[in-house]
Amino acid sequence: MFMGKSTISIHGHEYYDEVYGVRITPIFLTSMFEQPDRRTGETRVVEGGRELKYSREENPTTRYLEKVIARLEEGEDAIAFNSGMGAITATLLSELQQGMKVIIPMESYSGTIALLNSISEKMNLKIEKIFPETEDILEAINGGADLLIIETITNPTLRVIDIREVAKACSDSNTKVIVDNTFATPILYSPLSEGASIVLESATKYLAGHNDVIGGVVSSNRQIISSIWEWRKLTGTIMQPFEAFLVQRGLKTLSIRFETHSKSAMAVAEFLQEHPKIEDVYYPGLSSSPYKNKADKLFKKKLYGGVVSFKVKGGRSSALSVLRRLKMIVPSPSFGGPESLLTYPVISASKYIPPEDRDRLGISDNLLRLSVGLEDVEDIIEDLDKALRTGA
């Protein structure tokens, strides 16, 4: 039976306790499990054949979350980690080999870039950093590579990459492609269905959705996930059961939350576009955005995410002044939660991008990134307007 993303997020892999008639997944707060199973004398396993003996390696609450994520991402299986960086680390350790050539856009999450640079020194990798446009990525793939790491929507300038076209080129050239789908979520786009090899997301953001969980998830085919699972076991980076419970609970409202985030973000972007104190606005839903056509081509709904970036007239001092003068919006990193957050990218998500690359990308000292929350959009706009008019 076909199930839409909203239905999958609620009923994607339900727990059922026949003794008590409970359908809500319990939190298995235990460090160990009986092994072997005294009823059968066999090794105790969870679905997927993973041994269940110690919660550092496997936990039923986490496993229930993974099965829902796999269905949402349209993959065969998924694996959950105690942070997004834990997910990226285990994935790279699983996929990289000595001397590989790796392509990554210069506008990527700076933690990913820093990690890749560190691993490169030990594994003699060839790292090619390219401009984050579909055409530049396709040209780099044609030059040959073993692995490509890209984002569906880049951070913080919100470029939209044509994953469909890129994945086809990667398939033709035998290049594996890892897609960070955090900004789009499976509500907007499912890269695995378009030919991506691996999809990862920060569960901290929209998936959990309440700014109270740290986590990461990876989806792919069973063979790849099995390999990544071995690295999760060795590094001890499994998502803990309480966090897994919270993420699974958050997923049940993902679709409706993401729609509200996106609609409010559009209203905020349109307001900022007309504001006298604003130099430029970055949002793929605007008719003026060079990425709107790509977004409309790829995304399943006419939604464009809950993040808006903009440049304040007056440079660094004006941008910092806006951050100081906010009353409701919180000056803080992260995105995807109910509270609106305003981030200064040059000291957060883009911190480890070299200054010359930031200049080329347009990540300047007057750029701010707004995660539009679930407050009344009129209140978000009023807070921004007052901070801009008195602070710029």
- Domain range list for the chain: 5-251, 254-391
Mean pLDDT value across residues 72-84: 97
Residue 2, pLDDT score: 57
Q: Is the pLDDT of residue 330 over 90?
A: yes
- By the 8 A CB rule, do 112 and 180 touch? yes
Residue with tokens 């694996």: 79
What is the average pLDDT value for the chain, to the nearest integer? 94
Whole-model pTM? 0.94
More confident residue, 126 or 6: 126
Q: What percent of the chain has pLDDT over 70?
A: 99
Please state whether beta strands 216-220 and 198-202 pair in parallel, antiparallel, or not at all (unpaired).
Answer: antiparallel
The residue with greater pLDDT, 198 or 354, is 198
**In terms of CATH architecture, what is 5-251?**
3-Layer(aba) Sandwich (3.40)
Rounded average pLDDT over 57-68: 95
Which pLDDT score, from 0 to 100, does residue 278 have? Answer: 97
Q: Do domains 5-251 and 254-391 have the same CATH topology?
A: no
Sign of the torsion angle spanned by Cα atoms 244, 246, 248, 254: negative
Which of 121, 75, 129 shows the shortest CA–CA distance to 96? 121
CATH class held by domain 254-391: alpha beta
Per-residue confidence (pLDDT) for residue 392, from 0 to 100: 45
